[in-house]
Structure 1
Amino acid sequence: MQNHLTAPRLATVQRFFDSRSSTDLMGSYSWCQAVAAALLPILGDFEVSLRNALHRSLSQFYASTDSAPWMLPISGPVHAGAPVPKTPHSMSSIDKKEIEKIIDRRSKRGRAVGHDDIVAALSFGFWEQLVNGLGRASHPNGLQARALTLAFPAAPAGTIYASQQFRERIVRLLRAVRDVRNRIGHHDAIWAIPEFDMQGYPGFIPRRPRHTLISTRLFASRIAWLASWIDPAVGNHIQRSDHWDCLQRLLSRHALATYRRRGGRAGSYDAVIEGSDTLGHIGTFHF
């Protein structure tokens, strides 16, 4: 496999984990893949909950229903049947083009296009920009306060939903989440996830493997915390899932050492679960 991974990419992994052998190097690389794989469904639960919450809140604002085509009018054949807002939601030309591309793709395949289909296909970045754009003067009065109240009813006590500060706080938090999502999607440096505080401001960037363990645990906790703004049940679901349990097991010195000693070959995660594979070997790796 090493022959099919670029030398610069492997060199980055080798430097960060201070790998001393080919087995150690591939084990470190495989451990990062395992962590990314465990994070993805956690991020997925958050993303689906987020987009549905924002879709529901805008539908309620514009059409007093849980699902309406608030993004209309847009070009292309759109499936009818839902209440149509009297005033469409104001969006940037980039956001409109993303919606039009979704409609065009589905239409070319001969599929009916409903607003729920559009919502499901929109990128994570679309929702971040949608929140960011809630402060536009072109929006109806009270849109931001109503939309964010409905989308994040369990936000911290004292939240002023109409404030610029709260909107910007959500945007910063979503941007930090999107960064990690993109790292996973592009097979990027998952070992260097920047920490961010409860306001969404970036902070410490891991410099050693032991930092990665702590920072990634913190990131997962931030996801569950932010998801709980939508509904505490969402955060609880994330933290009680098998994916969460898998991630917590992987984020230990024992798990990382197990992957490094075994070169990430099949059965490495089983060895982590069994808990006996690397006893006495942890000290041979640099953390």
Structure 2
Amino acid sequence: MAAYYWNKALAGAMLPALQCLEVTLRNAIDKAVQSGPVPGATGLWLTDHNWIFSLPRYMGKKAYPKLRRRYKMAKKPADRQDAQGVMLDQYGHRIIACKVREETLVDQARDLIVAEGKTITPARVISGLSFGFWTTLLSTKYEDVNSKSLLWPNLEAIVFPHAPPGCGMPDIREAFHRVRALRNRLSHHEALWKFHYDDPATGLPDYGNPVYGAQASCSLLRKHYDDIIEMIGWMSPDRKANFLSHSANLRFYALCSVDGLNSYIAPEKIKAQIKVSRGGKGISRLIRVLEKNEFIRIVKEGQTVLTIGTDNSTQIQ
């Protein structure tokens, strides 16, 4: 069970970076659509603040071009319907029968806002959409090289202005796909530190070829985490710098190590230690504070070196 709680702590430590990446991505796309409108979108979908409603609806019409497939058709003369026989709701809007997933996710976000007694706004809908929604917008489904009516490649340089040289949309999609897979493992309470070598033929994880060893597993997970931080910088170097300036990454790095694992399963294996002896007033005070589940600040020459609080699976006796 100790390793299980270490994995839970790892998941918690990884969340701030994942959340920062998600918020940075959605803000970058939202700003890009409105500030650098897609040239071929005119007459197809809106590129103002209402784009979050308009683009998924356009994609739904594009996916289901036939009227009878897209909309619910009236079966009886008494049914409320328009001139083409499409059923209408109480507000006079056509009732959609088949939607793409993005439309459904937007509808769910709207429903949740209403259930909370709030007014539906584009900003609230955007903040209520999942990471999966935003990574779907990165897919080839939203790419149109010819008519330039969709997001990519039109907005690539605006959304990802600091992507590494030679890193195009295929590379960006793959990077976000890997992050989404890792995030799903976190959400489903799987072991984050368990990895499998990629199959050289497919580039996908080979589940018959696991990575063994705590050090190797931690190194791979750290690499994934480092990638997340770098991807934030692809969109906003300032956001990346702000994240790091608040030391939001240090807890993850401390936990994602052999010593981090040992702090939960075998504290006696951690080599670095401080022995409490008579006269050790500073250490004694530190222990008293930790026993009360409070925080203490370590100061050197008037400057804060670090803050410490009880954060371990082993209770202080």
| TM-score normalised per structure 1 | 0.66
Tell me the secondary structure at the aligned position of residue 110 of structure 1: coil
- Displacement of 1:142 in angstroms is 7.5
Q: Which one of the candidate residues 102, 108, 126 is aligned to 2:109?
A: 102
Does 1:190 pair with 2:195? no
| Bigger proportion of residues as strand | 2
The alignment yields a C-alpha RMSD, in angstroms, of: 3.4
Q: Report what 1:54 is aligned to.
A: 29
Does 1:130 pair with 2:137? yes
Does 1:27 pair with 2:2? yes
- Displacement of 1:66 in angstroms is 9.9
Tell me the secondary structure at the aligned position of residue 242 of structure 1: coil
| Bigger proportion of residues as helix | 1
Q: Which one of the candidate residues 132, 141, 159 is aligned to 1:151?
A: 159
Q: Distance in 2 between matches of 1:124 and 1:43?
A: 9
Instruction: Name the structure, 1 or 2, with higher relative contact order (CA <8 Å, separation 6+).
Output: 1
Q: Deviations over 1:94-138 (max 9, x none)?
A: 111111121123224432111111111111111111111221479
In structure 2, relative to structure 1, the CA distance for the partners of 1:179 and 1:241 (3 Å cut) is farther
Query: Which is further off, 202-211 or 168-177?
Result: 202-211
Q: Which one of the candidate residues 209, 218, 236 is aligned to 1:231?
A: 236
- Displacement of 1:190 in angstroms is 1.0
- Displacement of 1:139 in angstroms is 6.1
Query: Which is further off, 41-50 or 106-115?
Result: 106-115
In structure 2, stretches of 5+ residues that fail to align are: 40-45, 64-99, 269-289, 296-306, 309-317
Larger radius of gyration: 2
Does 1:222 pair with 2:227? yes
Does the 8 A contact of 1:67 with 1:116 survive in 2? Answer: no
Tell me the secondary structure at the aligned position of residue 164 of structure 2: coil
Stretches of 4+ aligned residues off by more than 6 angstroms: 63-67
Q: Distance in 2 between matches of 1:181 and 1:144?
A: 24
Q: Report sequence identity in percent.
A: 22
In structure 2, relative to structure 1, the CA distance for the partners of 1:233 and 1:66 (3 Å cut) is farther
Q: Which one of the candidate residues 230, 241, 248 is aligned to 2:246?
A: 241
Tell me the secondary structure at the aligned position of residue 190 of structure 2: coil
Q: Distance in 1 between matches of 2:195 and 2:181?
A: 8
Q: Distance in 2 between matches of 1:113 and 1:138?
A: 35
| TM-score normalised per structure 2 | 0.61
Q: Distance in 1 between matches of 2:145 and 2:160?
A: 22
